[in-house]
Amino acid sequence: MTDRNLIEKAADAMKNSYTPYSRFPVGAALECDDGSVFTGSKIENAALGNTLCAELSAVAGAVSAGRRSFKRLAIYSDSASYSVPCGTCRQVLWEFSPEVEVLCARSDGRYVSYPLSSLLPEPYGREQLE
C-alpha cells in the first residue's frame, strides 16, 4: 500500500466523523505490520473530555482484532494545516509500535511524515514501571 492509498482511506474515514461541537472532522487509517488496515473517525461528545480521536478509534479497532504491531498511521483533516496526533494518541501508539511512521495530510493533497519518536521524544513505557 502506498502512502497515498493510506491517506485516501483516512480521508474516507473522516467522512464518518461525528463533530457537532468543533466542526473539525478527522479520519485515520492504521496499517498493521501484516498489511491489514483499520480506519477510525473522530467522535465527539457533549462532555468534550469523552471525545474519541480518530487515531485512537483506529488503534482500538486494530487491537480488538488482535493486531498489536503497526507500520504506518495516516491522519487526514479537511484543513489547510496538518493534523498531528495529540499527546494521548502519541502515547497509545508508543505502547504498541514505537517505530510507527505518522503521515499527516491536509486538504490540498500535501502531507508530511514523522517517525513517532520525533513526536514523542520522552515516552513513558513499561520500563518505567519496572
Q: Which amino acid is at 64?
A: S
**Which of the residues 31, 44, 55, 130 is marked catalytic?**
55
Q: What is the phi/psi pair of residue 30, to 5°? A: -110, 120
CB-CB contact of 28 with 57 (8 Å): yes
Distance in angstroms (rounded) separating the CA atoms of residues 80 and 1 = 25
Distance in angstroms (rounded) separating the CA atoms of residues 55 and 39 = 8
Residue ranges of the annotated binding site for Zn(2+) are: 53, 86, 89
CB-CB contact of 88 with 35 (8 Å): no
Cα Dmax for the chain: 46
Active-site residue 55, yes or no?
Answer: yes
Residues forming the active site: 55
